[in-house]
Structure 1
Amino acid sequence: MTYAILSEALRAAMARNDDNAITHLIAELQPADLADFITQQNPAASLELLRHLPLPERAEAFGYLEQEQQLNLARLMPERELAGLMTPMPADERADLFNLLPEPRQEATLRHLAREEREDVRRLASYREGTAGALMTTDYVTIPEQAKVAEALALVRRTAPDAETIYQLYVLDERRRLVGTLSLRELILNSPASSVRALMTTELVQAEVDLPQEEVARLISRYDLLALPVVDAEQRLVGIITYDDAMDVAEEEATEDIHKGGTIGKLEGGLRNASLFTLYRKRIVWLVLLVFANIFSGAGIAHFEETIEAYIVLVFFLPLLIDSGGNAGSQAATLMVRGIATGDVRLADWGKLLGREMIVATGLGLTMALAVSLLGTFRGGPDIALVVALSMLVIVMVGSLIGMSLPFVLNRLGWDPATASAPLVTTIADASGVLIYFGIATSLLGLPA
């Protein structure tokens, strides 16, 4: 059955308190679909639904929930039940949940965990948020470099049930330093008597525990890795980061950049779970700042009152021209911010990109000037057409220059380039556009400055 059918049947079973039907229907749902269904219920009902699942399946579905939802459910669980849920969870998800809990609850829950899980949680929770150490898991398979293929296969069989991935195996020396990697495919296809040392790959792509998580995602994407090993300062293997975790990071970083591009900032827990006050608080600061920034546009218009009085037709073209400059600037800023975020563009590229942007902006401006000159001729005659066309060319070029330069300036200052958002670029380009337009009009139409 499809998710839509199962979810409707589950709602009906919940309405009539049919526990047997609920258990059967929940077992039919994929863990991700069950998590999606749970998000539509209140925390108490969500917890009751999860309790219809065996513990391993319950932990898997729980892992698909947003952190805010996980914390709401954790608040309703006794410490023993919470510890029982955390035990079958992947090590990285277990540590993330632990970090969400208030400190008194952390210590109370730890007492109900087995010693191995307790030490693992403490170790992973100690790494700084947003780094490779906080993202990694300790569920992986290692083999000693002196082992034979037959011994390595036997070790894989023993440890595979607890590992997050077994397709990539990590070869360690006697001091647990990472010396190579070996794929499960290579292990299976070679002779049982072959040496692991002879088969392993020593050209390693790895990350240190303090590497930022966006760099981790970039490494996994660049080298098409199933998992990235994480080492400490002594090159000892301490964990791995799987590609699915890297995908989550990439999505999170892209979402954060998009939000910053709208002058909103990061929304913890996502849009669906954000409170009204949070949405207000995230948006109001920049909106108020930009209101005052737009005073410069108003001051520019006030300065050229005599020009406007002499040629009232100029007002008709004002929104068209300044919006064009803002749009061109927003396009340029979006390209630069994304280029910097992906590593495609560096500070040293500014001069080269500036020249290219000016050539492109000139082409854009000329094309738009030609289009608007026809309208200018119709509305105000040849003189107005010349003013509007020349203004369009200059405004688009200046807007593009602002849009492409602002991310570089912010990056050089150590700020997030995503702050060079569309509203900010548009506001600056608007003020510049007003001054350019009426300045050109005053000069070409023979009016006093």
Structure 2
Amino acid sequence: MKVKVQVDIKKLIENGDFRTLKTILSQQEPAEILELIEELPADEKIIVFRFLSKDQAAVVFSELETDDQMELIELFKEERLSEIISSMDPDDRAELLEEMPANVVNKLLSFLTPEERKLTLSLLNYPENSAGRLTTPKCLELNPNMTVSEALEKIRKEGKDKETVHLMPVIDKSRILLGTVELQDLIFSEPDLYVEQIMDSEPVFVYATTDQEEVAQIMKKYDLIAIPVVDSEQRLIGIITIDDIVDVIDEEATEDIQKMSSIVTTEQPYLHLSGWKLIFKRLPWLIALLLMESINGNVIAKFEHFLASLPIVAAFMPTMMDTGGNIGSQISALVIRGMALGDIKLKDWWKVLLRETAIGLVLGAVLGIVLFFRSMMISQALEIGLAVSVALMVVVIFANALGAALPFLARLIKIDPAIMAGPLLTTIVDVSGIIMYFMIVHWILR
């Protein structure tokens, strides 16, 4: 039975009961160990690492946050640090080094063999967020002229040290990718058949420079647990496995949420960020949005005589801004999510705009009628009810079309569509909506 209560771990360390601690840790998966030690101070984390196997320690260390890794690197004895770094998967090692200062990178690279160092540096040379950075070369490669029995024998001998044996690339002597074979196909095939007879000769693969988000979409589309990665000449570099893609999906979703909230993106969890860093992550956008919102003051000042003669008009200003912002945020979230999932392409812009203009017209008409009856409870003047209702309908149609169009504009100019949502869209709709409101109401009631 697995023990997962963190307070027990802490008590065992404080009481010096290391025999029990070692027994408990031996029963846990790396993910559970990570959860157990997450809140421990660095000096107690070091004690836990003393009782982990080399492979356990490598996996747990690779999953820690960057600031925790930095603390432990300073506390580890060189022998233990060398063991951990050498045992990490190449893609995890490359990700670790990417986050470290130059002096720490040099120190860690010194613990690697020349072959490991060369492999790690080759992964680091690929663009950030590319498939090459996620690639592990620890895949089991097959020869097309092998028989099924020879391939199974190779799996028995070498498979334990590989990332996965569920999908195996088939390559020639020049490492050109010829196809892929799934383990189940080998198991259920006749022993004397050749690998080339049962392999998929048109495999799904990605290039090392392919963006990691596109890799995730491809693996989702074809329901893959691993995908081969090749260079520009289609020579095999390695594979990307589903566990790395799950991390990518998590990172991309977090990044989109932060951008939609107008926050400068950060990869660190909230509690690992200092208060000052959180302030500087949020402040630039808040200043920009504040300056944009100040346009409303100029608009109101321009119509101050109109408001003085008809104060009831001011009562509907919040309704115009809030409704427009809500409408725009709704549709922008739908479009951005559709783009992220690959359901909506850039070429679909006119379909989406036509559809959302029609939908905006219906929404605007319904909300305009509701506002008309609400206005009659405040003022008995029919012309005022008509003016604010027409203004709301126009604002809703505009906000809906704008919320649908901005993500396409972002994609066209090569920026993340998520930026065009949340506070930014709301502020744009607020400013434009209040201008349209005053112009329409002033024109109708003049």
TM-score, normalised to structure 1's length?
A: 0.94
Matched residue type, 1:443: W
Cross-structure match for 2:402: 402
> What secondary structure does 1:266 align onto?
coil
- Whole-Å separation in 1 of the counterparts to 2:281 and 2:71: 22
Cα distance in structure 2, aligned partners of 1:79 and 1:131: 32
3-state SS of paired residue (2:142):
strand
Name whichever of 25-34 and 266-275 sits farther off. 25-34
Pairing 1:1-80 to 2, within 5 Å after superposition = 6-80=5-79
Q: Within 1, Cα distance between the matches of 2:379 and 2:18? A: 77
Counterpart check, 1:156 vs 2:166: no
Task: Give the stretch that moved more between structures: 136-145 or 362-371.
Answer: 362-371
Q: C-alpha displacement at 1:314, in angstroms?
A: 1.8
Question: How far 1:2 sits from its partner (Å)?
Answer: 7.2
Deviations 1:157-188 (A, max 9, x none): 11101111101111111211110111111111
The answer for the alignment partner of 1:281 in structure 2 is: 280
Q: CA–CA distance in 2 between the matches of 1:289 and 1:115? A: 50
Contact in 2 for aligned 1:307/1:438 (Cα 8 Å): no
- How far has the Cα of 1:136 moved from its partner? 0.7
- 1:418 alignment partner in structure 2: 418
Residue 66 of structure 1: how far off its partner (Å) = 2.5
Check 1:148–1:14 CA distance in 2 against 1; reply closer, same or farther (3 A cut): same
Contact residue 31 and residue 64 of structure 1 kept, 8 A: no
Counterpart of 1:368 in structure 2 is 367
Code of the residue aligned with 1:439 in structure 2: it is: M
Deviations 1:53-100 (A, max 9, x none): 122222222233233322332232244322201222222112222333
Structure 1 residue 8: Cα displacement? 2.4
Distance 1:73 1:173, change over 3 A: same
Structure 1 distance, partners of 2:440, 2:121, is 66
CA distance in 2, matches of 1:191, 1:412: 52
Which secondary structure does the structure 2 equivalent of 1:144 belong to?
Answer: coil
Runs ≥4 residues deviating over 4 A: none
Distance 1:126 1:141 in 2: 24
Offset, 1:115: 4.2
Give the match for residue 271 of structure 1. 270
Task: Measure, in 1, the Cα distance between the counterparts of 2:331 and 2:180.
Answer: 43
What are the residue-to-residue correspondences of 1:44-443 with 2, within 5 Å? 44-381=43-380, 382-443=382-443
> Unmatched 5+ residue regions in structure 2?
none
CA distance in 1, matches of 2:18, 2:77: 22
Change (3 A) 1:250 1:128: same
Structure 2 distance, partners of 1:231, 1:79, is 35
Q: Distance in 1 between matches of 2:438 and 2:100?
A: 59
Deviation at 1:11, TM superposition (A): 2.5
Distance 2:151 2:79 in 1: 37
Higher deviation after alignment, 78-87 or 191-200: 78-87
The answer for unaligned runs of 5 or more in structure 1 is: none
Q: 1:311 to 1:15 in 2, by over 3 A?
A: farther
Aligned residues: 445
Deviates more, 1:42-51 or 1:127-136: 42-51
Distance between the aligned counterparts of 1:268 and 1:197, measured in 2? 43
State whether residues 177 and 236 of structure 1, in contact with CA within 8 Å, keep that contact through their aligned partners in structure 2: yes
Note if contact 1:39-1:69 (Cα within 8 Å) is conserved in structure 2. Answer: no
* Aligned 8 A contact 1:110 1:118 in 2: yes
Deviations 1:178-214 (A, max 9, x none): 1011111111111111111111111111111111111
Task: Indicate conservation of the 8 Å contact 1:143/1:152, yes or no.
Answer: yes
- Cα deviation, residue 15, structure 1: 3.3
Asked if the contact 1:71–1:97 (Cα under 8 Å) also holds between the matched residues in 2, the reply is no
**Matched AA of 1:400:** N
What is the alpha-carbon distance in structure 1 between the residues aligned to residue 13 and residue 172 of structure 2? Answer: 55
Cα separation, 1, equivalents of 2:8 and 2:114: 42
SS state at 1:367 partner: helix
8 Å contact 1:6–1:29 — kept in the other structure? no
Change (3 A) 1:376 1:43: same
Counterpart residue identity of residue 142, structure 1: E
Mapped to 2, the partners of 1:348 and 1:298 lie a distance apart of 38
> Partner of 2:239: helix, strand, or coil?
strand
Q: Which amino acid is 2:400 matched to?
A: S
Per-residue Cα deviation, 1:248-267 (whole angstroms, up to 9, x for no partner) = 11111111111011110211
Could you tell me whether the CA contact under 8 Å between 2:9 and 2:36 is conserved in 1?
no
Change (3 A) 1:304 1:221: same
Paired with 1:108 and 1:403, the residues of 2 have a C-alpha distance of 50
Percent identity between matched residues is 34
Separation of aligned partners in 2, 1:259 and 1:164: 32
Note if contact 2:205-2:227 (Cα within 8 Å) is conserved in structure 1: yes
Would the aligned equivalents of 1:332 and 1:404 in 2 still touch at CA under 8 Å?
yes
Please give the TM-score of this superposition, normalised by the length of structure 2.
Answer: 0.95
One-letter code aligned to 2:430? D
Between the aligned partners of 1:34 and 1:255, the Cα distance in structure 2 is 24
Counterpart for residue 444 of structure 2: 444
- Letter matched to residue 374 of structure 1: F
1:384 is paired with a residue of what secondary structure?
Answer: helix
